[in-house]
Amino acid sequence: MRCPFCDSDDTRVIDTRRNERGVRRRRVCQSCDQRFSTMERPVLNTPLVVKRDDQREEFSREKLLVGLRTACARRPVSADDLERLVDRVEHAICQMGRMEVPSHVVGDLTIKELKELDPVSYVRYAIVYLGLEDLEAVRSEIDRLLEESKESTKEA
């Protein structure tokens, strides 16, 4: 492993921890004494995502994270929460065992997870994903969310 500070190959592992996302290794550079962490996670063969216009592209964790970070801006949602959400979506599409997955499947999985994580971020994401084009459409989605919230409160 190359040191990100001095580009030396002379690094060693000083600590290893496993978590649900993979293996985190704490390393130290023998040349410059800087410490850094690396994450190792399995390389999965994710299916291609088929867009509405029939274009196909690789599933991109980063692309999904960027959209989620935008939806969750200035909200009490941690980076770890978003990483776990993307992990669950990626795992779900890999479990399907298909070579190609329609983009709406990825979007549906994401919006379902986001709805449970933070309702305000869900509305922000839904405005783009569901194509809520006017205030009435946004209002009806919020009203539906509020109704679901009341029903789940009554059941508890």
In a domain, 113, yes or no: yes
The model's pTM: 0.68
For residue 142, CA distances in Å to 26, 71, 90, 137, 151 come to 44, 15, 27, 9, 14
pLDDT digits (tens, 9 = 90+) for 105-143: 999 999 999 999 999 999 999 998 888 888 988 899 889
What range does the domain containing 146 cover?
48-155
Amino acid at 117: L
Mean pLDDT of all residues in 37-58 = 88
Residue at 1 is within a domain: no
Residue 19 is assigned to a structural domain of this protein: yes
* Whether 62 and 134 share a structural domain: yes
Mean pLDDT of the chain: 91
pLDDT interval class at 156 (50, 70, 90)? low
Q: How many domains does the chain have?
A: 2
Report yes or no on 2 lying in a domain: no
pLDDT in tens, 59-93: 999 999 999 999 999 999 999 999 999 999 998 99
| Shared-domain flag, residues 60 and 30 | no
Say how many CA atoms lie within 13 Å of 87 toward its Cβ: 12
Burial 57-89 (b: 16+ CB within 10 A, else e): eebeeeebeebbeebbeeeebeeebbbebbeeb
